[in-house]
């Protein structure tokens, strides 16, 4: 069997993803959206660059199996859960929550509790209910070379890109805080985002969803591409239902919101999904996710928790 035949499902999955992503970029360009540049940049750095870096730092390593007993049935159950999640949580639920709790520490604590319930506890119970196993999805695998190389090399690249393309440094400078307080701010933001965003989204989309997609497609590559698209699409109701053009990706035009989600959000899912496929380390994808979010949210963390 030739290489192309052996990887047929993966090539089809990547090809379909590329066509869909390209169509989303073309649609945004036709609508005159400024998000085209964002989408191309995120794809170049995250979708392609960081995925290639993940492949390099995990050369020679073999990720352990994550067995799925009834692939089709389990995937159907997860997709039904995600459909409800997209509408009831990212759409109506978060809008209602933010209307009830505007700002402050109480909102932050309640929100992370709600996210853990919806992203971790709910999917974990669903996996158990359909006869799946949780242990293979929760491995840290910190004793592998790929974990530490991935965390150090990819993490440094992610932080460097964040400093380059976001106003994080300017926002931190605006706090006028001493060096020890800045260190506490950045470290605290990293830990908080590792839980609020990293653990929540990576357990649901990579560990639970992508594992079942891989079992159905019999291809890790096709699963990465498909999970990245699903990851983007479940954000659509939230972006569409939020008021205010200041929210990135918000628009009254539903088609534009879908195109934005695919073009700008899915490449991050592609990168993190590839790391999961290569390492099967939930801890690694959680920490790399936090590397993406920690600095852009550090100033807000300082104002909420440290009174800076």
For the chain, 308 residues long, give each residue's pLDDT as a single digit of tens. 576 667 789 999 999 999 999 999 999 999 998 899 999 999 999 999 999 999 999 998 889 989 999 999 999 999 999 999 999 999 888 888 878 887 789 899 999 999 999 999 999 999 999 999 999 999 999 999 999 999 999 999 999 999 999 999 999 999 999 999 999 999 999 999 999 999 999 999 999 999 999 999 999 999 999 999 999 999 999 888 765 544 566 677 899 999 999 999 999 999 999 999 999 999 999 999 999 999 999 999 999 999 87
Answer yes or no: are the C-beta atoms of 155 and 50 closer than 8 Å. Answer: no
Q: What is the pLDDT of residue 245?
A: 46
CB atoms within 10 A of CB 256: 21
pLDDT tens readout for residues 208-258: 999 999 999 999 999 999 999 999 999 999 888 765 544 566 677 899 999
- What pLDDT score was predicted for residue 4? 67
* 5 belongs to a structural domain: no
Rounded to an integer, what is the distance from CA 96 to the centroid of its chain?
Answer: 23
Domain with 231, as residue range(s), is 14-306
- Among candidate residues 153, 160, 143, the one with its CA nearest the CA of residue 279: 143
Contact 285, 163 (CB under 8 A): no
Asked if 22 and 244 count as a contact pair (C-beta separation under 8 A), the reply is: no
Residue 23 in any domain: the answer is yes
3-class secondary structure, 198: helix
In the prediction, which pLDDT does 95 show? 82
Residue 53 within a domain: yes
Give pLDDT, residue 247: 53
Residue 3 lies in a domain: no
Q: What's the pLDDT score for residue 1?
A: 59
Q: Which residues contact 216 (CB under 8 A, 6 or more apart)?
A: 71, 72, 75, 223
- Residue 68 CB contacts under 8 Å (≥ 6 apart), including other chains: 74, 132, 211, 212, 214, 215
pLDDT value, residue 250: 63
**Residue 44: inside a domain, yes or no?**
yes
Residue 9 falls within a domain, yes or no?
A: no
Q: Does residue 7 sit within a domain? A: no
Domain count, the chain: 1
């Amino acid at each position: 069997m030739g290489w192309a035949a052996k990887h047929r499902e993966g090539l089809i999955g990547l090809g379909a993803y590329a066509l869909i992503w390209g169509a989303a970029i073309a649609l945004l360009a036709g609508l005159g959206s400024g998000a085209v540049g964002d989408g191309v940049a995120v794809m170049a750095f995250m979708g392609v660059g960081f995925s290639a870096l993940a492949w390099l730092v995990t050369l020679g390593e073999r990720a352990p199996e994550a067995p799925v007993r009834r692939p089709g049935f389990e995937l159907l159950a997860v997709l039904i859960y995600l459909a409800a999640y997209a509408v009831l949580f990212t759409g109506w639920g978060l809008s209602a929550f933010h209307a009830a709790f505007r700002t402050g520490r109480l909102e932050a604590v309640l929100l992370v509790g709600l996210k853990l319930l919806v992203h971790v506890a709910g999917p974990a119970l669903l996996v158990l209910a359909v006869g799946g196993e949780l242990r293979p999805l929760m491995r840290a695998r910190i004793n592998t070379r790929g974990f530490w190389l991935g965390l150090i090399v990819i993490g440094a690249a992610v932080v460097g890109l964040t400093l380059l393309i976001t106003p994080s440094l300017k926002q931190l400078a605006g706090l006028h805080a001493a060096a020890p307080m800045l260190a506490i701010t950045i470290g605290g933001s990293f830990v908080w985002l590792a839980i609020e965003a990293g653990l929540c989204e990576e357990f649901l989309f990579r560990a639970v969803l992508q594992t079942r997609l891989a079992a159905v497609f019999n291809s890790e590559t096709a699963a990465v591409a498909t999970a990245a698209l699903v990851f983007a699409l479940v954000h659509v109701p939230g972006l569409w239902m939020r008021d205010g053009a200041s929210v990135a990706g918000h628009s009254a035009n539903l088609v534009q919101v879908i195109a934005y989600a695919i073009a700008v959000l899915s490449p991050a899912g592609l990168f993190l999904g590839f790391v999961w496929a290569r390492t099967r380390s939930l801890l690694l994808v959680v920490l790399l996710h936090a590397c993406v979010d920690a600095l852009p949210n550090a100033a807000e963390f300082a104002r909420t928790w440290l009174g800076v």
